[in-house]
Amino acid sequence: MDIAKLTIGEIRSGLKAKRFSAKELAGQALQFAEAENPKTNAYLRLCPERAMQAAEKVDAAIAEGKGAGLLAGVPVAVKDVILTEGLVSTCGSKLLERYVPPYNATAVERLEAAGGLVLGKTNCDEFAMGSSNENSAYGPVRNPVDLERVPGGSSGGPAAVVAQGTAVVSLGSDTGGSIRQPASFCGVVGVTPTYGRVSRYGLVAFASSLDHIGPFGRNVEDAALLLQVTAGRDPMDSTSAFAPVPDYLAEMEKPVKGMKIGLPKEYFAGLARETGDLVMAAVDQLKKLGCEVVEVSLPHTDYAISCYYIICTAEASSNLARYDGVRYTTRSEKGETLIDMYRATRGEGFGAECKRRIMLGTYVLSAGYYDAYYLKAQRVRNLIARDFSQAFEKVDALITPVSPFPAFKLGEKMADPMEMYLSDIYTITGDLAGIPCMSVPCGVTGTGLPVGMQILANHFAEPTMFRLARAYERAVQ
């Protein structure tokens, strides 16, 4: 068994044929992760006891002839903004260095109930703010494909562990592209489901109206399986959807012949030539499979970045107000008065990007500016969402690049926040509209850097998205 390349299907058949036990698998996976992690810094901590206990349960269930669950024995990594009971969850921030959550996120609860083995927690940008994983208080993550380059962000850790083979699948979060952009940079599959499809209970809030939990996998099926297990109504998150969860695996095998794909013209201007060529080659492949391709327009695309950085900073300034040194956070020793203590705690604890966003968000919400910025951004958000609904009246799905360029060098964009923000120009719109979208690897550049194509579908049309992704994957394998 090649631990770095295992798929969920191989684990299922291996356990069934008794080629290995879940415990043996967990032991090997942990050993491999421990040995390989120093290269990338993708895991912040492993949790061998938790993984071994879960593996024992899987082995016991199999021995008793009971169903062991859809993720039986599957090593999973979890982004550190997703809470794990009894296991430190820092969110990539110094402020939460010692925070031990008293409960599990619903997604974690469900994946463990399905037999998944949580191997550890992964690195990420502080409170999921960033596009390169360089905003982590625990050092950057290196891209396993090229260690001099970033893995993307903010879910750099979850993408890197799957690419590196130190986990089979992982859970990340996406507010403006944080699953799809790192998936494309690392050459793995990353899925941002419809808003409300996966409960946000236990996902530390960055921008609540935009936050999603979603899976990474080395192929479409593995990512879809992790979504299958984690999706569905949860009374602990009032925005979680009641819609029943389809059988994604069965859906994705349906033919794509006759499906109509739209290419939004606004998404193909100003991107690196090789990126554009690879995405267009993937579109040609889908044409060969019988899809019809038409050009469409999403006219409000130009406003997406401004709109996103007003809404997300406004919500972040409110969500991050709770880190005051009283309840969860590491408290600063400095300061005579309560206000001084707040100031010192937040001043020492937050990194530069969080501070920038708290200030920006506080400003756009302040009296006299609220209407001009926040309210206006909400209206623009509606126009962006309407562009998509109108497009989905004509086509089944949209295809675009994920990022205008492949993985960049560590440090390359740190000096210029605007330049960094631009890497999410094609992913932010999907979050603003709340529609499902994913990144599927579609080849590598001349220098071997992975490129992802983005597939977007209408609300709750994950089956349509997976069908196209799976058909493409099968055709190029």
Q: Which residues are catalytic?
A: 79, 154, 178
Rule CB under 6 A: choose which of 154, 219, 275, 429 binds ligand GLN. Answer: 154
CB atoms near residue 383 (< 10 Å): 14
User: In this chain, which stretch among 86-94, 169-177, 264-272, 374-382 interacts with ligand GLN, using CB under 6 A?
Assistant: 169-177
CB of 229 vs ligand GLN, minimal distance in Å: 22
Of the pair 21, 173, the CB lying nearest ligand GLN is at 173
Site string for ligand GLN, 392-431 (x = CB under 6 A): --------------------------------x-------
Rule CB under 6 A: choose which of 174, 266, 387, 462 binds ligand GLN. Answer: 174
Q: Which residue is nearest to ligand GLN (CB)?
A: 178
User: In this chain, which stretch among 9-17, 125-133, 365-373, 384-392 interacts with ligand GLN, using CB under 6 A?
Assistant: 125-133
Instruction: Tell which positions 297-326 bind ligand GLN, by CB under 6 A.
Output: 312
Of the pair 178, 345, the CB lying nearest ligand GLN is at 178
Instruction: Tell which positions 48-67 bind ligand GLN, by CB under 6 A.
Output: none
Q: Which residue(s) pair with 441 in the sheet?
A: 452
Rule CB under 6 A: choose which of 129, 278, 399, 449 binds ligand GLN. Answer: 129
Instruction: Tell which positions 177-206 bind ligand GLN, by CB under 6 A.
Output: 177-178, 206
User: In this chain, which stretch among 72-80, 122-130, 343-351, 387-395 interacts with ligand GLN, using CB under 6 A?
Assistant: 122-130
Q: Is 230 in the site for ligand GLN (CB under 6 A)?
A: no
Of the pair 175, 240, the CB lying nearest ligand GLN is at 175
CB of 319 vs ligand GLN, minimal distance in Å: 12
Q: Which residues of 329-347 are buried (b: 16+ CB within 10 A; e: fewer)?
A: bbbbeebeeeeebbebbbe
Indicate the residue type of 101: P
| C-alpha 227, offset from chain centre | 12
Q: What separation, in Å, do the N-terminal and C-terminal C-alpha atoms of the chain show? A: 20
Of the pair 206, 216, the CB lying nearest ligand GLN is at 206
User: In this chain, which stretch among 85-93, 98-106, 126-134, 249-257 interacts with ligand GLN, using CB under 6 A?
Assistant: 126-134
Whether residue 107 contacts residue 63, with contact meaning beta carbons closer than 8 Å, is answered with no
User: Cβ-count burial of 231 within 10 angstroms (0-12 exposed, 13-18 middle, 19+ buried)?
Assistant: buried
Rule CB under 6 A: choose which of 131, 166, 345, 439 binds ligand GLN. Answer: 131
**310: which residues sit within 8 A by CB, 6+ positions away?**
364, 373, 374, 376, 377
Q: Which two tokens stand for residue 230?
A: 């984690």
Give the ranges where 165-271 is alpha helix by DSSP (H).
Answer: 180-186, 220-230, 248-252
Of 389, 409, 379, 407, residue with least CA distance to 456: 389
Rule CB under 6 A: choose which of 69, 101, 115, 130 binds ligand GLN. Answer: 130
Q: Locate the DSSP E strands across 232-314.
A: 260-264, 292-296
- How far is it, in rounded angstroms, from Cα 315 to Cα 301? 21
Secondary structure (3-state) at 166: coil
Of the pair 206, 460, the CB lying nearest ligand GLN is at 206
Number of residues in contact with ligand GLN under rule CB under 6 A: 13
Of 311, 308, 282, 242, residue with least CA distance to 397: 282
In order of 16, 173, 224, 345, the CA distances from 89 in angstroms are 34, 14, 25, 18
CB of 111 vs ligand GLN, minimal distance in Å: 20
**Which residues contact ligand GLN (rule: CB under 6 A)?**
128-131, 154, 174-178, 206, 312, 424
